[in-house]
Structure 1
Amino acid sequence: MCTAAASEGLSAVRYRLDDLLIDLERQRVERDGAPLGVAGLSFQLLRHLVEQGDRVVGFDELIHRVWAPAVVSEETVTQRVKLLRQALGDDGRSPRYLRSVRGQGYQLCSRPHPLPVTEPATSPAPRSQRPHMRVAVASVVLLVACAGLWTWKQHAGRSHLPVAAPAPEQPSLLQRAAYYASIGQRDNNERAIGLFDQALQAQPGNVEALLGLSRAYSARVCLFNFPPEWAARAQALAEQAILAQPARATAHAALGYSHDCRGRIDDALAGYERALALDPAADSTRASAAYLYDRKGLLAQALLANTSLRGDPARVRYLQLQIAGILDLLGYPQAAEARYRQSFALYPDNVFSNIAWPRFLFRHGRTTEAQAALDEAMRRGTEHADLFLLAAELAQLRGDPAAALAAYRQAEALRPQASLPATLAHLQAGPVDPVWAKARANRLARELEGGAGYPSDWLEVVVLREAAGDRAAALASLQRAVDAGYRDAAYLRVSPLFRMLAAEPEFARSVDALNRRVALEHRKVPGALLERLTASP
């Protein structure tokens, strides 16, 4: 007869992990009765690991179970694990609670044990029933304890054998391609391209594959320094998809993206707006359009679009960066800084977070902090021409022309097809032929007048005309930038590229005109929205 006695049942709500008490229901972690600061995503990550016992949990599973429907990268998981370890007081080099398994994922260092739960206080049973109830409960508990002990003994001899997890459903070729494309890293984008290519070889004309490949080709140009010919290929694929399915919103969005990545701002907006007319719930497309409204100086329209999403904002990549940029231009640098700083900390694999935070610090004259943030961004491996352009301007400000030239040349090497890095490298290299500078400025101005490029591209014309010795034309080009929608007065004041112009009355008049237009945009934004976005957390 089993002699083990028990008065409490096991629960899957509270667990002991080493010296930690983990309460899944209350979302609370304690050590020696003191609560630890484990909350939000960190707690959800811990919860899933606890529920898996001491099984190794892979990155894909963690992303699906903890972050979904948001799309994140493995680096985001790594950073969240780092935050969880900090909250637990764990050391990744000598882990006590959570260890990494190279090439696989993460695993708890010991198996968490479910804890018995104390029976909650309830109203007493009627007096006449209580003795009989106690006997019945004791009998049941004893029976369960004996059965549990027998089961444990049967299992103990084979407890060292691994328990196979249920085999997950195998994703299709297109699903796997879309997953890699969604991560936002160069290597994964290339994997996605290979898979989309395979899908098209297996089924020529497949619209999903056409659009996936189109977006991935555009991403090569927008994110990973490929030449614009890839965006032209992306355009052709999107147009093929539109021909097959004219009312498909994602096809028009892909077409807009192909134009966006080549600086064709009006064509891009036409594609995005057509997509939104077909599918008003397409939040990522709305955010893409909002970015271009911002570039055109339509700050109120951009902010309203960014804050009028139909679904979960966490699923829209770069949303907080876009909101931060607009708030900064509207005169709310503290609210912008909080978003930039958080994005930089949480998304080290996000190329635009790595650019935006040091650039914000630079624009506000915090050059020492900007240099430190830029150094960290460079170590993260998200190479982008804009990082080296910023490095060059910082070098100019500290009086290091050799370092500035080296950085400009690195930016040019990353984007040899882009005009601005080549121009700035040429100007920094030494004496400039005024005839060359004038011809280059005139060619670029004609392209901009024909509808190509962003308003900010007029700033390249400004520096070229100044280098050609035509200051009046340079100042007129600055006003053209403002008229076209350029709205960043802070950058104009701090950049070494405009030092020679800053003392001119016409420069001040252009900046004043810029500020008046920003003030007009500010008045268009509902006060309640600004109050919500700028409130202290």
Structure 2
Amino acid sequence: MLAGMETVRLLDLHIDRTAQQVRRGDEVLPVNGLSWRLLECLLAHGDAVVDFDTLAEQVWAPAVVGEDAISQRVKLLRQALGDDSRRPRYLRSVRGRGYQLCTPPQPAMHDTVATVTAGGARATRRHGRTHWVWMAAGMTAAAAVAALIAIRSGTAPASPADPVLQRAAYYAGIGQASNNERAMALYRQALQIDPESLAARRGLARALAADACLFNGARERAQEALVLAGQGVRMAPDDAAGWAARGYAYDCLGAMPQAMADYQQALHRDPDDERTRASLAYLHQERGYLAQALQDNLSLRAPERVRFRDVQVARELELLGFTDAAARRHAHNFQLYPDNVFANIAWPHSLLAMGEPGKAQQALDQALARGTPHPQLLRLQGELLLLKGDRQGAAEAFERSRALRPQQSMGQTLAGLYGDEAATPAWVATRLHALEGQADDGWSDTALERALLLQARGDAAAALAALHHAVNAGFRDAAWLRATPLFAPLHGAAGWQGLLDTIEADVSAQRAQVLAAPWRPTDLQGLSAARAAGTR
């Protein structure tokens, strides 16, 4: 539809595809980022109905989005165009199917003249370049792009498994648990067709790891992912994507040092791999390197195409104490991405940390109704019920959290500490012994869990020492420590304020580093490094 057209008209809109600009008369309309890519996708289909799966694939992939997120983006595009969903001029909804333009786009006059006068060779050359730019923008799964180019140029697929791999990449890119299952099945089929296919091995490894990380799958799937990705690295040690896949498998297994090492190997081989750069930034955040993590995430050239990046930036600003800026971003993410499980966790968690348990409960109720089950949502529900004095309700929430991922240690500990039967000293000792082998896994959660058990045993000094170990491992959420009822018994203990001061000293230094940096977010302009308006 758009081949050869660098500028098109849609009724009174003049759309310059090269400049990525939409004008009505002399007015430039605020259509950019995801809204621009959504408009490009719709233009490419003329006035045909574009279904949700196609929009998710061509606009959002590899991010995982559902119909709610797509509808929110359509709403923003309509607002930018000055359209009315009740009396649409440019874009209409087709119930149960998707969206379509109200009228087919037309070539702008100067494009038509240029095509006629430039001659066949020039027209062919421009057609190829324009179509390539459109295809590259619309598809982000590398295997799918390569296969489509091969098919359009008339060459044979590099592997007999390529058609299956295309479909697998499609389902993996759209996401959701059911689509991820379809992707796994197709990747297994591709491996049966071509046992030497690196793309099939990598793809299956990523889908298996995602099942464990995002969709409450069994730990065994992440372990299988690690085996497959390891095979891929040995088969092609210079393949950056193979190192990234193994890093992701380690990441989902909780092996932080190994994950960080593999992510760094991947970036050494492919510095433009922004998905891996964002994954490494998240681990830097967990290690307490907040300024570095924020800088890495803000440096991404196409951040809207990196899953969870916006959630990470909001969380980093929150931990750095930029409360107002973080709250605006958390609320924005919560509104626009209702099927993003980590956005659903982050906003109510942030409200609790800000001392707003009532608002946190309202947000959590919405999150729990969105169909993105996760243990952290249920743990947060347990915390809020404890604040209300409902220990029985909290116990039930912690038990549901444990049941969702039975293999997770923190879930077992919380369910045991708040269960119907009081935790015995023997049970606490057994749990502490089980944690001894996890001391060097790189995560602060192990030390937090140990602190809960030592607190339950009545040893406040040892519990505080464990919390200091958590800080040494990267824990920086002092606001949550103050707000959560889980550590309320320690508030009066000697050393509690010293613990909070230790966290604040490190965070203050990093906050000053961010404010002095040329890359700092624009909404931090004018803020002081000291605690002040806009900082916690």
Query: Fold-level match, TM-score > 0.5?
Result: yes
For 1:68 and 1:402, the matched residues in 2 are separated by 42
Q: 1:47 to 1:173 in 2, by over 3 A?
A: closer
Q: 1:307 to 1:531 in 2, by over 3 A?
A: closer
Q: Secondary structure of 1:429's match?
A: coil
For 2:476 and 2:347, the matched residues in 1 are separated by 18
Amino acid at match of 2:246: L
Alignment of 1:172-191 (within 5 A): 172-191=163-182
Aligned match of 1:328: 318
Aligned match of 2:523: 534
For 1:344 and 1:266, the matched residues in 2 are separated by 31
Aligned match of 1:474: 463
Amino acid at match of 2:266: A
Aligned match of 1:357: 347
Mapped contact 2:468–2:499 kept (Cα < 8 A): yes
For 2:204 and 2:41, the matched residues in 1 are separated by 34
Mapped contact 1:332–1:534 kept (Cα < 8 A): no
Aligned match of 1:489: 478
Unpaired segments ≥5 residues, structure 1: 1-11, 118-166
For 1:333 and 1:500, the matched residues in 2 are separated by 26
For 2:311 and 2:484, the matched residues in 1 are separated by 21
- Choose from 50, 65, 68 the match for 1:73: 65
Mapped contact 1:73–1:184 kept (Cα < 8 A): yes
Percent identity, aligned pairs only? Answer: 44
2:487 aligned with 1:498:
yes
2:22 aligned with 1:27:
yes
Q: What is the TM-score normalised by the length of structure 1?
A: 0.78
The offset of 1:53, in angstroms, is 5.3
- Choose from 173, 192, 198 the match for 2:183: 192
The offset of 1:239, in angstroms, is 0.8
Aligned match of 1:295: 286
Mapped contact 2:64–2:307 kept (Cα < 8 A): no
Aligned match of 1:422: 412
Indicate the structure (1 or 2) with the bigger Cα radius of gyration. 1
For 1:273 and 1:252, the matched residues in 2 are separated by 9
Aligned match of 1:147: none
Aligned match of 1:371: 361
2:279 aligned with 1:285:
no
Q: 1:240 to 1:297 in 2, by over 3 A?
A: same
The offset of 1:301, in angstroms, is 2.6
Aligned match of 1:390: 380
Q: Secondary structure of 1:317's match?
A: coil
For 1:113 and 1:312, the matched residues in 2 are separated by 27
Mapped contact 2:514–2:520 kept (Cα < 8 A): no
Name which of structure 1's ranges 435-444 and 211-220 shifts more when overlaid on structure 2. Answer: 435-444
Mapped contact 1:435–1:468 kept (Cα < 8 A): no
2:207 aligned with 1:216:
yes
2:303 aligned with 1:318:
no
Alignment of 1:16-415 (within 5 A): 16=11, 21-24=12-15, 27-28=22-23, 39-40=31-32, 41-42=34-35, 45=38, 49=42, 52=45, 54-63=47-56, 67=59, 71=63, 73-75=65-67, 76-84=69-77, 90=84, 98-101=91-94, 104-108=97-101, 111=103, 172-309=163-300, 311-415=301-405
The offset of 1:42, in angstroms, is 4.5
Q: Secondary structure of 2:100's match?
A: strand
Mapped contact 1:70–1:314 kept (Cα < 8 A): no
Unpaired segments ≥5 residues, structure 2: 1-6, 110-147, 153-161, 527-536
Instruction: Give CA deviations for 1:347-391 in whole Å, capped at 9, x if unaligned.
Output: 222111111111111111121221111111112111111111111
Alignment of 1:452-463 (within 5 A): 452=441, 454-463=443-452
For 2:498 and 2:348, the matched residues in 1 are separated by 28
For 1:266 and 1:116, the matched residues in 2 are separated by 55
Mapped contact 2:43–2:105 kept (Cα < 8 A): no
For 1:45 and 1:216, the matched residues in 2 are separated by 26
Q: Secondary structure of 1:500's match?
A: helix
Q: Secondary structure of 2:373's match?
A: coil
Q: Secondary structure of 2:165's match?
A: helix
Q: Secondary structure of 2:307's match?
A: coil
Mapped contact 1:242–1:252 kept (Cα < 8 A): yes
For 2:273 and 2:213, the matched residues in 1 are separated by 20
Amino acid at match of 1:485: G
Mapped contact 1:196–1:213 kept (Cα < 8 A): yes
Q: Cα RMSD between the aligned structures?
A: 3.2
For 1:243 and 1:46, the matched residues in 2 are separated by 43
Mapped contact 2:61–2:174 kept (Cα < 8 A): no
- Choose from 422, 440, 448 the match for 2:438: 448
Name which of structure 1's ranges 492-501 and 458-467 shifts more when overlaid on structure 2. Answer: 458-467
The offset of 1:219, in angstroms, is 0.7
Q: 1:424 to 1:116 in 2, by over 3 A?
A: closer
Q: Secondary structure of 2:521's match?
A: helix
Amino acid at match of 1:56: V
Q: 1:376 to 1:89 in 2, by over 3 A?
A: farther
